[in-house]
Amino acid sequence: MESLVAATSASLPRAAFSPSSSSRTPSVLRAVVPGSGNAAARGVRCAAAKDSVFYELEHDEMFNSAEVFQWESGKSINAIAAAQGIRIRRLCRPRYPSEGTGADRAVPRNILEQIIWDKEVEVSQRKAKKPLQKVIEAAQHAPPPRDFVGALDTAHRRNGVPALIAEVKKASPSRGVLREHFNPVEIAQSYQKNGAACLSILTDEKHFQGSFENMETVRNSGVKCPLLCKEFVIDIWQIYYARSKGADAVLLIAAVLPDLDIKYMLRICRNLGMTALIEVHDERELDRVLKIDGVQLIGINNRSLETFEVDTANTTMLLERRGDIIRNKGILVGESGLFTPEDVSYVHNAGVSAVLVGESLLTRDDPGRAIAGLFGKELLR
Ligand SMILES: O=C(O)c1ccccc1NCC(=O)[C@H](O)[C@H](O)COP(=O)(O)O
């Protein structure tokens, strides 16, 4: 089968393959069959020859989902997202005057919404400088992707405690600057030396003082741990860009991305040989993600990205309710607010086999050596 990525880059209009662009260009078939956005024209969906790529797309569950039909009937991305319980809105510009601008659209409701709105502006500027096709080409020349899930699994078995994804972040909206002297390569090397299985590199500049350059420098420094690109992904462009800078995995946040975006982005990750860590905060997000095929890594974030409140009981609560189903899916990651060996044991007992930790390591003089303190023992490499 010709891959979606190949179809994207080779034969179809670029915009047609960006379900998360702010203009929300509708499905592939509408782009290639003028006028197919209305019900009558939708009959065209079944007209492609059996040997064409469009036949496969027409028969693809993704392109026949309710969400695609909702797009095609003109429903806005925010309306579709809201129907899935997503509270974070996109900074959608009105498509026609009657939609208005709406006073409430002008002000983000919380920090996550602010980050996403800033990200939309940032991504559109980056795309203008480096179009998708160029980033896809750059991704093809990147150092090969490494096995993120395999590294977590091996470390968990070796140490009998959750595998560590150690975070390289200078600052955060909730805590401000965590580390004045910030050398990403030094921190990454020290994490690796002290038993981290994987690393998470913050790439958002505005709110976390991170960068894609940090990702690239760490990747080129000889650090062997697989790297997660900790970014607020709203567009496939960012996934290709992360790969081009050497990332092995990307974060996808269920509080931000509708189901179809997650499915589509998962496919792109798979085609690129990358892993997606799908992050959830509550039961509703978890239930959405559990219905998606191909999810290998689910992160339960203990920090509300809307209020900043951290509560490790969130992991226990979600695992008590959905533990069996989640464990069958793959590896579970406990994220945020872990400071002591008791915190780590608590989420381990709840069922996680990996933890994502930033602040409690980064605020120590030597972040790598702080790992033993966090786990109550030295981790083997
Ligand atoms: O950390 C924040 O303040 C924050 C605010 C808004 C969105 C995301 C945010 N953090 C991302 C993370 O989830 C953490 O960096 C990660 O889980 C590590 O958490 P911690 O160990 O508490 O630094």
Q: Which of 336, 353, 359, 360 is catalytic?
A: 336
Looking at residues 197-219, what average pLDDT do you find?
98
| Model confidence pTM above 0.95 | no
Ligand 1 centroid to Cα of residue 319, in Å, is 20
**Which runs of consecutive H residues, i.e. helices, occur in the chain?**
4-10, 28-32, 53-58, 66-72, 77-83, 111-129, 132-140, 148-159, 184-193, 212-220, 236-244, 259-272, 283-290, 313-329, 341-350, 359-362, 370-375
- Regarding the beta carbon of 64 and ligand 1, being less than 6 Å apart is answered no
pLDDT-derived band at 239 (thresholds 50, 70, 90) equals very high
pLDDT for residue 323: 81
- Give the CATH fold of the 148-375 domain: TIM Barrel (3.20.20)
pLDDT in tens, 115-171: 999 999 999 999 999 999 999 999 999 999 999 999 999 999 999 999 999 999 999
- ipTM reported for the complex, 2 dp: 0.98
Is residue 312 within 6 Å of ligand 1 at its C-beta?
no
What is the predicted pLDDT for the residue at 68? 73
Task: Report how far residue 138's alpha carbon sits from residue 285's, in angstroms, rounded to the nearest whole number.
Answer: 33
Residue 172 known to be catalytic: no
- Atom 1 of ligand 1, residue of closest alpha carbon: 172
- Answer whether residue 244 shows pLDDT above 50: yes
Q: Could you tell me the pLDDT band of residue 106, with boundaries at 50, 70 and 90?
A: confident
Nearest one of 126, 135, 127, 119 to 8, comparing CA atoms: 135
- 34, pLDDT greater than 90: no
Q: For residue 337, which atom of ligand 1 is closest to its CA?
A: 22
Minimal-distance CA residue to ligand 1 atom 12? 336
The bridge status of strand 227-230 relative to strand 198-202 is parallel
Instruction: Write the DSSP string, 49-76.
Output: -TTSHHHHHHT-TGGGSHHHHHHHTT--
Confidence (pLDDT) at 88: 87
**Given the CA of residue 178, which atom of ligand 1 is nearest to it?**
23
pLDDT recorded at residue 303: 92
| Strand bridging mode 171-172 / 176-177 | antiparallel
- Determine contact, residues 354/333, Cβ cutoff 8 Å: yes
List all residues 6 or more positions away from 89 whose beta carbon is below 8 Å from its beta carbon: 78, 81, 82, 105, 109, 113
**Is the minimum distance from the CB of 112 to ligand 1 under 6 angstroms?**
yes
Tokens of 6: 């190949």
Backbone phi, psi, residue 122, to 5°: -60, -45
With a cut of 90, say whether residue 292 has pLDDT above it: yes
Is 230 among the catalytic positions?
yes
305 lines ligand 1 (CB under 6 A): yes
- Ligand 1 center–CA 180 separation, angstroms: 18
> What is the structure's pLDDT at 40?
33
| Residues 6 or more apart in contact with residue 44 via CB below 8 angstroms | 29, 33, 36
The question of whether 335 is a catalytic residue gets the answer yes
pLDDT exceeds 60 at position 20: no
Q: Which of 336, 340, 364 to mutate to test the pocket of ligand 1 (most atoms within 8 A of CB)?
A: 336
Pick from 29-33, 102-106, 187-191, 254-258: least confident: 29-33
Q: Is the CB of 303 under 6 A from ligand 1?
A: yes
Q: Is 285 a catalytic residue?
A: no
CA dist., res. 258 & res. 188, Å (int)? 33
Q: Active-site residue among 113, 120, 167, 359?
A: 167
Bridge partners, 276 (sequence order): 250
Q: Closest by alpha carbon to 260, among 288, 240, 283?
A: 288
Q: Are 371 and 191 in contact (CB under 8 A)?
A: yes
Statement: residue 51 has pLDDT above 60: yes
User: Which protein residue's CA is at the shortest distance from atom 3 of ligand 1?
Assistant: 174
- Strand pairing of 297-301 and 331-335? parallel
- Closest-lying ligand 1 atom to the alpha carbon of residue 111: 6
Distance 172 CA to ligand 1 centre (A): 7
User: What average pLDDT does the structure give for the chain?
Assistant: 84
Residues 6+ apart with CB under 8 A from 161: 344, 348, 375, 377, 379
CB 135 within 8 A of CB 241: yes
334 pocket-lining for ligand 1 (C-beta < 6 Å): no
Residue labelled with tokens 């790297």 = 227
Can you name the residues that pair with 300 across neighbouring β-strands? 280, 334
pLDDT greater than 90 at residue 1 = no
Would the pLDDT of 200 be above 70? yes
| 280-295 average pLDDT score | 94
Identify whether 190 is a catalytic site residue.
no
For the chain, the structural domain boundaries read 4-107, 148-375
Residue 61 pLDDT grade (very low, low, confident, very high; cuts 50, 70, 90): confident
| Residue 336 CA, ligand 1 centroid: distance in Å | 6
Q: Which long-range contacts (CB under 8 A, 24 or more apart) does 49-56 make?
A: 53/2, 53/7, 53/11, 54/28, 54/29, 56/1, 56/2
